[in-house]
Amino acid sequence: MTAQHEPENLSAPERAPERQVLLIDCPHKWDRNPVDLFGVVLVVVSIVFVILVSVYAQTTTVAVTEDVRRATGGILETILALPINVLEGMMSFFLPILLLGDMVYRRRWKTLITAIIAAAAAAGISALVVWMGARWWPKSDLFGLLPETLHRHSIIAALPYVSVIAALLTVSNSSKDSRITRGGWWLFGVVLMLSILQGHQNLPGALFTILMGVFSGLLTRYIVGGSPDRTTGTKFVELIRKAGIDVVTVVRIDELTGDEMLYAFDVTTSAPIGHTNLTSLEQIRQLLEVSSEDGNNTATASLIQEIDSLTLPGNQHEINGFDVYAFRDETLARYPVTMPSAISRNYIATDIQGRAFHLKVLDNDRQIISFLDDLWERLSLRTAIRQTRRTLDSTAEQMLLVQMRAEQIGIATPARSSIARLDASIMVAELATEDPLLSTIDSHITDADIDALWTELNTAHVHGMSHGNMHSRYVKVTPAGLHVASWQHSSVISSDTARQVDLAQTVAMLASVVGVERAVASAQRNLPTTVVASIAPFLQSSILPQPTRKALTKHKLQDLRDALAANIPEASSLQTVEYTRFSIKTIATVAVGVIALIVLFGSLNFADLRRAILAANPWWMLVAFLFGLGTYVGAALTLKAYSKETLPFGETLLVQMAASVVTLVAPAGIGPAALNLRFLQKKGVATTPALATVSVVQVGQFIVTIFLLMLLSLFTGDFGNLSLPSGTIQITIGLAVLAVAIVASVARLRRWVMAKIRPTLNQIWPRLVWLFTHPSRLFAGAGGSVLMSVAFIACFGFALKSFGYELPLITLAVTYLISNSVGSVVPSPGGIGPVEAALTGGLVIAGIPSSIAFSTAVLYRLFTFWGRVPLGWIALRIVQKRNVI
């Protein structure tokens, strides 16, 4: 045996200095993880998919399962019978015991309680689904499959064991390092697959029970909460030192939610400063321990102690009586920083030399929020204007890449950026400055300051970079002028559209800070005239950051567009660039129309409807269509009369016809108004008087319609088949007067009503004053509104007459008013759905059979909506070719 060699000149890396660090942060506590909620949504979607497959593809799923079982059944039942029984026994008995025992061994008491609750919920939900199926849908194809599956895997009839085990595995899976959980999922899947192949259950039932268990586990885990998947406390201080910062104070500066509170901690640590290879040192330590066992070696023992000193865990204790919020506010006031939405946590840290750093922390448990944000942008926008964030690593690397590129081309000062990762968090650090943010500045911003920002942006664009989120909280006011504070979420290889969006966001941001006039003037000083004019089509709320969108009203945004295009009049004819594919509002409006149509179609007798349509008189249908065309003339007369400027009647009539196409995609009444506004602007009418004219047209139409109804009711004395008492009109007027009196006498109610109507009154008042000084125009406009109402009512009446039914004129007028009001209030495209429902309901109340009522409503809408689309398309092509709109 050879003698033990005495180690010479062996020494561990130099130990980092021990520091006492003031840490102001939210303590580590259980929190609801957004990933769990997202998982619940995905599971619900999966359950719906399984239900659809079970109902509409039952034969296919059963046939596939049976074919596979017949092909392998003999082998499984003879050769693998014993192993399968062993696996099933392990899953049903030992797996739950192992999972719960592992939680007890690791002292994960809250996880244990969560698992028990989730298991009970899974059993209850599964049993409830089976009971509901047997009770209310006993003949359903879906629920005919489930009970067999649930009872086959039960200790007792009411305890679906598969769902319970799936719930236990889901809750236990919150511990990422649990080998029992990972092995349990594999065992669970293998046993269920073999059970399906043996014919003990079918595929849809097995999937349904598993998904119910996973649903119970995820929902319980979200409600109860879990341990955050992030680095906090002494580990967080270790992360900061790993990034090369010898930190002495760390302050959380985020806006906290209602249940989050800041605490002060004194952390003592000697963790290494900078990245070190402690893993290899640990391996060396193990070898030295083996060597030291062979004999007494002082040098080896000393080296082991030095290695141990490098890996000593820090310790922390709470500091009582420290005003954490005052310290936080003072720090944030001294070092204003940008806080992008992709960042989970933001801190200001100071090192031993007094330098301040902005720490941007990316946490694994908040990554899903960034993913969903990027996914929504990809789905809703036609062109991506910001960099997509897929993983924490790629996000952090992208931040450093863009910062280094910005420093290289001279648009960012050296920030001494550093990066480190520990456990489930990545931190990017950069020097913090004391320059204030543009959003907090009240002092005067000079033109030179603004020009510095444009110079910086032009430099970035020349080198292919784009920012994508330019607003006042990203810009700092420095002695050298306005300066973009952060480029870290920008793109180094940007498209032309992305750079154009930068220009639009920048000029809109400046307009919200220094006003439209100075913002446009600065753009004209720093950009070519054609480029300035080309910004106008890109100015829309969908691409503006939220701070800018809040600061700019719609009118101010339109004024900004007009000012940008002022030097090149032809630029006003450029169409707005379409960014959004769809929005939540679009989905909601389409859903309203679809639901209304479903309800309407569900109440119809289609056999009666078919007979009614076949028996309709085509001559009365032709008369109804011709009267419907009269609404174009009435609308053109009204717009021409209420416009102070001279409008050619032929062009005005063509515009009203072209509006038939716009109503397909816009709520009732909104489409024609938008087209009229565009027509007036092309005729040289400024935005404000054009808006006033369009508003007067809409208000005038509403007032004339009500006046016409009241006049007819006074002449007839009743409401046709909807007979009312003789004094109804007087009572109605009395109630109206009483309501006005109440509003006038109650101050709060009066202020609320005035707040609602004042914007419209302020908008239309100048035009009303002009109209009252020109009574001929006022009467001409009212006549056009009367003609339009009469044409609509006549079209509706003759459509009804084509089916052999008639109603008094006043009843038709009331029904038209209701349908028009519903179509305007409910924001469905073209009023599709609500208008048909209102027309049908009004005729049914008046005594018309439901099939005839619906046929009349459809025919009326065909003549006044659908049937006009070809004419509208031809008119739209004509006015576009003539540059009328």
CA dihedral 714→720→722→725, nearest 10 degrees, is: 40
The answer to whether the CB of 466 falls within 8 A of the CB of 385 is yes
The CA distance from 233 to 255, in Å, is 19
The CA distance from 668 to 767, in Å, is 24
Q: Is the pLDDT of residue 771 over 80?
A: no
The CA distance from 441 to 461, in Å, is 27
3-state SS, 269-317, equals ECCCCCCCCHHHHHHHHHHHHHHHCCCCCHHHHHHHHHHHHHCCCCEEE
What's the pLDDT score for residue 483? 92
Q: Is the pLDDT of residue 351 over 90?
A: yes
Class of domain 438-573: mainly alpha
User: Which residues, in sequence order, are CB contacts of 874 under 8 Å at separation 6+?
Assistant: 657
CB atoms < 10 A from the CB of 820, how many? 21
> What's the pLDDT tens digit per position in 24-46?
998 877 777 888 888 899 999 98
With 0-12 CB in 10 A as exposed, 13-18 as middle and 19+ as buried, what is 294?
A: exposed
496-514 vs 554-564: helix axis angle to the nearest 10? Answer: 120
Q: Is the pLDDT of residue 482 over 90?
A: yes
The model's confidence at residue 679, banded by pLDDT at 50, 70 and 90, is confident
Helix (H, G, I), strand (E, B) or coil at 757: helix
Letter string b/e over residues 692-708, b meaning 16 or more CB atoms within 10 A of that residue's CB: bbbbbbbebbbebbeeb
What's the pLDDT score for residue 718? 45
Tokens 């006022």, located at residue = 778
The CA distance from 849 to 689, in Å, is 47
The domain spans of the chain are: 34-224, 233-271+314-430, 438-573, 618-847+866-881
> Mean per-residue pLDDT for 210-215?
89
Percent of the chain with pLDDT over 90: 15
> Which DSSP string corresponds to 101-134?
HHHHHTT-HHHHHHHHHHHHHHHHHHHHHHHHHH
Closest CA to 360 of 253, 270, 438, 255: 253
The CA distance from 882 to 332, in Å, is 59
The model's confidence at residue 159, banded by pLDDT at 50, 70 and 90, is very low
> What's the pLDDT tens digit per position in 703-750?
887 777 677 666 554 444 444 433 444 454 566 667 767 767 777 777
Type of residue found at 352: I
With 0-12 CB in 10 A as exposed, 13-18 as middle and 19+ as buried, what is 429?
A: buried
The CA distance from 367 to 370, in Å, is 5
With 0-12 CB in 10 A as exposed, 13-18 as middle and 19+ as buried, what is 790?
A: middle
Q: What is the mean pLDDT of the chain?
A: 77
Q: Which residues pair with 345 in a beta bridge?
A: 361
Q: What share of the chain is helix, strand, coil (3-state, %, to 5)?
A: 65, 10, 30
The CA distance from 501 to 495, in Å, is 10
The answer to whether the CB of 843 falls within 8 A of the CB of 799 is no
